[in-house]
Amino acid sequence: MQGLCAPKNTPTEIIDKLNKEINLMVADANFRGRLAEFGNAVLSGSPADFGKLMVDDSEKWARIIRTANIKPG
């Protein structure tokens, strides 16, 4: 997973502007195609969507690591 993050206290209007522009960029077929060449899937959405994705993904991998009893080497 890849995404763009900003510092914690970034003003909402800046976050909203970045989100709008990034969503426009990832809607471009050429951009999506170029990323697909590298095996990347493109998702767009809100900052809240990305935050939920990050939390869900972290929880998923934590469960896998615990279940598999994976320890640092």
pTM of the model: 0.70
Per-residue pLDDT, 3: 84
Token pair recorded at residue 49 = 């969507």
Which parts of the chain fold into alpha helices (H)? 12-27, 29-37, 47-67
Token pair recorded at residue 23 = 């969503």
The residue behind tokens 């279940």 is: 67
In angstroms, what is the C-alpha Rg of the chain? 16
Residue 27 in contact with residue 44, Cβ under 8 Å?
yes
Structure confidence by residue, pLDDT tens digits, 3-56: 888 999 999 999 999 999 999 998 999 999 999 999 988 888 999 999 999 999
Classified as helix, coil or strand, 57 is helix
